[in-house]
Amino acid sequence: MTYSQMSAEERKAEYARLQKEFDDLKAKGLNLNMARGKPSKQQLDLANGIFDLMRDPADYVTDGIDVRTYGELTGIPSAKRLFAEVLGCRPEQVFVGGNSSLQLMYDTISKAYTHGLLHSPRPWCKEETVKWLCPVPGYDRHFKVTETFGFELVSIPMTDEGPDMDAVEEAVKDPAVKGIWCVPKFSNPEGIIFSDRVIHRMAALKPAAPDFLIMWDNAYCIHEFEGDFIPFPDMLALCAENGNPDMVFEFFSTSKITLPGAGIACFACSEANIAYMKKLIDIQTIGFDKVNQQRQVLFLQNKAHMLEMMRQRATIMGPKFRCVVETLDREVAPTGIADWRRPKGGYFVSLNAMPGTAKRTLALCKEAGVTMTSAGATFPYGKDPQDSNIRIAPSLPPVEELEQAIAVLCVCLKLAALEKLGL
Ligand SMILES: Cc1ncc(COP(=O)(O)O)c(C=O)c1O
């Protein structure tokens, strides 16, 4: 019987039973964290081989370039070839940077703000208003980047196949709308893969702003934890075919393949955009860490080898995601108070609690020693109008701890829902 079908008496009895369960869980003094998409120790250990590399002096030279000294601002050729192979674009379209794709994203927006992009009539700081499209629920750090530059964040609903393209096509008629965030494969937090139809409509947009920018964050493009690798189209080629060669910047990093914070990141875009950005970045730095670029390339080798590595990681990640979804199916589904997605890759499970209960649920979780991403984080300005979406990040805790953390979450979801329904 679902909670809304229960009589007031039945709900009261259920609440008392759950309260006891909650007190017992609290008494365990748990300290568990499902807040951010951090790989577990077991997963990090899979990259330990990287520390044995670069011992032979021959490893310091690649394509005739000594990686130990200045030069090659846009990255070493072997790293460009590797990322181009993964993303399906050409090496000339790849700029390999430092340890974080988020930093490259921030820098791209920052340069648009201070200097403008290739087709900007003026730097964005000179615009009266800059509006930015944010598919929701989405990645909190994306939203904060555009918020920090004072852009007006416009929510675009996500559908099962990506952002609502009717809403996007309507919004881009406004010349103040300068761009959109996209995580096209295994979106954060819903794990949605944009459909071909959505991708084609996105590439064919005819925005009023001449410098409209698609921030195509392909962070999880080889991050399947269930099933076979799903090939994905090259957005750069699609935009070019649609007469928009300079409209997209794609981002990728090895953070969730080798070591977060100690991997390498890139952006990929038209050669005209590469030339434009190169000129600006040349003033900012003499070059990124090519020693690490070389180390990562030696470790990762090629796309086939990377996919093999990801299959290994999937044996660690898969059981964790199954634990989350199966526990929710068993414990929460019969109550009818929430629904959740069943991702096959990426780093998150997105759950929609009964409207008006996400904050209360997470406050209860905290009280019982389980830290989750704060409620609202998946929406612009940290405000979920429904107070419903909860992002679960199961990658960090070992399965035994995860089982406890999800048990806590299930009890808290139910307590919050019963309180909302009235006791
Ligand atoms: C969608 C998305 N993009 C980017 C990042 C951060 O990547 P990086 O470590 O390359 O900065 C994350 C991290 O969780 C993410 O979820």
- Secondary structure string (H, E, C) spanning the chain: CCHHHCCHHHHHHHHHHHHHHHHHHHHCCCCEEECCCCCCHHHHHCCHHHHHCCCCHHHHEECCEECCCCCCCCCCHHHHHHHHHHHCCCHHHEEECCCCHHHHHHHHHHHHHHCCCCCCCCCHHHCCCCEEEEEECCCHHHHHHHHHCCCEEEEEEEECCEECHHHHHHHCCCCCEEEEEECCCCCCCCCCCCCHHHHHHHHCCCCCCCCCEEEEECCCCCCECCCCCCCCCCHHHHHHHCCCCCCEEEEEECCCCCCCCCCCEEEECCHHHHHHHHHHHHHHCCCCCHHHHHHHHHHHCCHHHHHHHHHHHHHHHHHHHHHHHHHHHHHCHHHCCCEECCCCECCCEEEECCCCCHHHHHHHHHHCCEEECCCCCCCHHHCCCCCCEEEECCCCCCHHHHHHHHHHHHHHHHHHHHHHHCC
CATH 3.40.640.10 domain locations along the chain: 63-301
Write the class of the CATH domain 63-301.
alpha beta
Q: Where in the chain is the domain with CATH 3.90.1150.10?
A: 3-44+314-421
Per-residue pLDDT reduced to its tens digit, 11-70: 999 999 999 999 999 999 999 999 989 999 999 999 999 999 999 999 999 999 999 999
- The pLDDT, as a whole number, for residue 36 is 86
What is the distance in A from the centroid of ligand 1 to the CA of 42?
A: 20
Per-residue model confidence (pLDDT) at position 80: 98
Is the pTM value of this prediction over 0.85?
yes
Ligand 1 within 6 A of CB of 183: yes
Q: Model confidence over 119-147: pLDDT tens digits?
A: 999 999 999 999 999 999 999 999 999 99
At the topology level, CATH places domain 3-44+314-421 in: Aspartate Aminotransferase, domain 1 (3.90.1150)
Taking the CA of residue 260 as reference, the ligand 1 atom at the shortest distance is: 9
Assess whether the C-beta atom of 99 lies below 6 angstroms from ligand 1: no
Mutate to test the pocket of ligand 1, among 186, 253, 267, 350 (most ligand atoms within 8 A of CB): 253
pLDDT at 7 over 90: yes
Q: What is the pLDDT of residue 423?
A: 81
Whether the CB of 120 sits within 6 Å of ligand 1: no
